Amino acid sequence: MNTFNKLTITLSTAEKMVNAAIEKANELRLSIAVTVVDESGIPKFFARMDHAPLIAIDASRKKAITAAGFGLPTGETWFGFIKDDPILREGVHDFTDFMLMGGGTPIIINDQVVGAIGVSGSHYAQDQQCAEAALDVLKIQ
């Protein structure tokens, strides 16, 4: 066969996830930018809260693309993957749209990456909390 089927996140789910991340940010008293991409890393839904740093726009996009592209969360998981490999550790920073800092998480349904979310605007550990709150939307549906 010369083709295959891919699952992708819906716009409606992407919007719900962004809203859940923003709700968590409000709870933590943060201002963030949130990007959801599809399985190919193409932006599906984006929002930037009032007062979120401008750099958070690009950082949230890069975190989402990194998570979708490799199917790995950014932050601890990625660092653990590269820390003992000097060539990989130094080389990944040359990837276009790569972001190591936490806050990017793949969206996996039926063992398949269907998209990813990237959150930026605070310390990466808090960004990750917002991303995880967004993933909880999938458990509700």
* Domain covering 11-140 in this structure, CATH number: 3.30.450.150
State how far the alpha carbon of 125 is from the alpha carbons of 25, 38, 76, 131, 132, in Å.
12, 23, 10, 10, 11
pTM given for the model: 0.94
pLDDT for 7-27, tens place per residue? 999 999 999 999 999 999 999
The pLDDT > 70 percentage for the chain reads 99
Mean pLDDT of the chain: 94
Residue found under tokens 């917002």: 130
Three-state DSSP string of 17-78: HHHHHHHHHHHHCCCCEEEEEECCCCEEEEEECCCCCCHHHHHHHHHHHHHHHHCCCCCHHH
Q: Which amino acid is at 26?
A: N
Mean pLDDT for 95-113 is 94
Q: Quick one: pLDDT at residue 82?
A: 87
Cα 82–Cα 136–Cα 13 angle in degrees, nearest 5: 100
Other CB atoms closer than 10 Å to residue 11's CB: what's the count?
12
Confidence label for 69 from pLDDT (cuts 50, 70 and 90): very high
pLDDT of 141 strictly over 70: no
Cα 115 from Cα 130, distance rounded (Å): 16
State how far the alpha carbon of 124 is from the alpha carbons of 1, 10, 75, 141, in Å.
43, 26, 8, 27
Confidence label for 72 from pLDDT (cuts 50, 70 and 90): very high
Q: What is the Cα 47 distance to its own chain's centre?
A: 13
